[in-house]
Homo-oligomer: A and B are copies of this chain.
């Protein structure tokens, strides 16, 4: 048995825009600067990465899968991400140690408590 986790595919109406957004958010590098399949990784040979694949469909429901990020300083990272165009969202999480956010296309993600 041999299966390795290569990437998470994010279906998007704008692969380059959303891919560049996440690249800036994470401080990763672009490994495929393609307008249909835009791919980023932490390092050129480090996986899993994120592959942004064009779809004509807009987002309609809360995502079944979402990404959790561990920050050095939670509040500083949240502010930085808001500066990039993310927003805080309320999905009924209540009073929790993490911050629920959405990227510019509405994909939910969480910034966890500080490392």
A residues adjacent to B (C-beta < 8 A)? 1-11, 25-27, 42, 48, 51, 57, 59-73, 77, 80, 107, 110-112, 115
**Known contacts A2-B72, A3-B25, A61-B60; is A8 also within 8 Å of B77 by CB?**
no
A3 lies within 8 A of B61 (CB): no
The answer on a CB contact under 8 Å between B3 and A65 is no
- Chain B residues with CB under 8 Å of A27's CB are 1, 3
User: In the complex, what's the smallest C-beta–C-beta distance from A48 to chain B, in angstroms?
Assistant: 7
Q: Which residues of B contact A61 (CB under 8 A)?
A: 60-61
Known contacts being A1-B80, A11-B64, A63-B63, is A112 close to B6, with CB within 8 Å?
yes
Q: Which 10 A-B pairs have the closest CB atoms?
A: A2-B72, A65-B65, A6-B70, A3-B69, A6-B68, A7-B68, A4-B70, A63-B64, A9-B66, A11-B64
